[in-house]
Amino acid sequence: MAQDPSALPPYFNIDTDAAQAELEAPTSTAGFARIAEACARGRADLASRGLDAEGRKQLRLFSTWEITRYLIPVAQAHFRRVLRANPELPQGVSDTEAGAKWFSLDEVLRLRAFFGAQGARSKNYLPYRPKGLPAKLVAVANFKGGVGKTSTAAHLAMSAALDGYRVLVIDLDSQGSMTSIFGGQVADEWKTAFPLLARHYGEHLRAENQRRLDRGEAPQPLDETLAAAMEMTAQDVIQPTHWPNIDLIGAQLNLYWAEFQVPVWRMAARGWKLWDALTDRLEADGVLDAYDVIFIDTPPALGYLTINGLAAADILLVPLGASFLEFDSTGRFFDMLHSTFASIEEGENMAARALGRPGLAFEWDAVRAVITRYDGAQQGELAALMQAYLGRTLSPHRQDFTALIGQAGEQVSGIYEADYRDFNRETYARGRETFDATYAAFKRLLLGIWRREELAAAETELAS
């Protein structure tokens, strides 16, 4: 309806008595609980729409068309011939006798392994993974909310899983959005990363107590929390998801307690290297050998959980939109990273120099900013300016906003969980192109880093 050009804007002539009559009673502290409970009911309702009869998320099936186009690089006719010739392989299911065949991802992984063993050597059926090297940890972080941080981490995890990698997702954000996407069930902080941090501190305290006893001093007691954490490993908090090759360390609101507890521990034991807690525990518990890629979703603030995630990471990805405010905020984020980690290095290295020990120097294999929710018609000029200033730090690939994003958000799922039959093949193919390109840019980075390390290890071996 056309607006009357002579009409006043809606903020003029508001009747004060009518405005007062529309008000509800003032909100008390208990009111927040009622609002939170209403949100919880709504969240449960939305989440349940993607659950099966037993209350669990189920990953959809994949058609022969999808498998041969996106997952296993063979022609459909050849794919069908291989299945007919090998009846022991998964044969798929169809709605009708002559209908398309559909396969679970677990079956796709088995088929990929078969092609990797029996197929043409010139094709990359299996993802590149150097032997003898640990998993790569990838932190996705930024201060500013709404930049696509969790969505980027989730879709990269799904892409890597579809590519055949073994993936672990660690949710360090107490809002638990990543946990919701992967259908995680987290009752309290004891199913989050918190016990890993607590155990790391407990082990430091136990070693310090031994030194105290050696000096004839009384040890510091381990409280109930630390005693319980000392009995736990990463395997106790890792849970499977509806993806056969994605596991999860989830998060929930109680995880935020770590932001208050960690500084208390740090004040009690200044020698505790809190920034190493996550890395050390994952390594000690064999997690870095059990997975290929580990994605860490961090809180939108530089607290102790984020410091742990960033310090553990080999690769740092920083999503941001092509807007002045997000560019400005991201610059401040990098400035805060510099201040924080330089401060840690300075504090540690003062003591190291005094004792004649090697100094501490944080290092990341690669750092990339990634433009998300990109609208080329509106943001091209600003994106080009950002590229000019950030250079190679800003990935040249820009993740377009597509209609698939909205649908996935409504269904508490990822783009790759959307069934193309809800659109059509062409719409689906166009919609996922930008996410495939995002993963391709990341995978190029990952493989380059792995290859560099593989060559360095071979060179070291030759030299010895």
Express each pLDDT in 286-320 by its tens digit. 999 999 999 999 998 889 999 999 999 999 999 99
CA–CA dist 433, 175 (Å, integer) = 29
Q: What angle do CA 51, 55, 57 make, to 5 degrees?
A: 40
Averaged pLDDT for residues 433-452:
93
When the pLDDT of each residue in the chain is averaged and rounded to a whole number, the result is 88
Calculate ∠ Cα 204-208-214, nearest 5°. Answer: 150
Alpha carbons 27 and 31: distance in angstroms, whole number: 5
Q: Which residues contact 140 (CB under 8 A, 6 or more apart)?
A: 149, 150, 152, 153, 156, 295, 296, 297, 298, 317, 318, 319
pLDDT bin (cut points 50, 70, 90) of residue 251 is very high
| Residues 169/287, Cβ–Cβ less than 8 Å | no
- In the prediction, which pLDDT does 48 show? 64
| Per-residue model confidence (pLDDT) at position 317 | 95
The residues facing 171 across adjacent strands are 297
Choose among 303, 301, 332, 194: nearest CA to 250.
194
* In contact, 295 and 153? CB cutoff 8 Å: yes
Helical H segments across 235-286, by residue range: 258-268, 277-284
Highest mean pLDDT among 9-13, 35-39, 163-167, 435-439: 163-167
Q: Kindly state the tokens that stand for 423.
A: 């659109």
Nearest-angstrom CA–CA distance, 385 and 206: 53
Indicate the DSSP class of residue 323: S
DSSP letter for each residue of 213-235? HHTTPPPPPP-HHHHHHTT--GG
The secondary structure element, H or E, covering residue 399 is strand 394-400
Local structure of 140: helix, strand or coil: strand
The DSSP letter of residue 257 is: G
Residue 356 has pLDDT above 80, yes or no: no
pLDDT band at 354 (very low <50, low <70, confident <90, very high): confident
Look at residue 1 and tell me whether its pLDDT is greater than 60.
Answer: no
**pLDDT above 80: residue 407:** no
303: left (phi over 0), alpha (psi -120 to 50) or beta: beta
pLDDT at 406 over 60: no
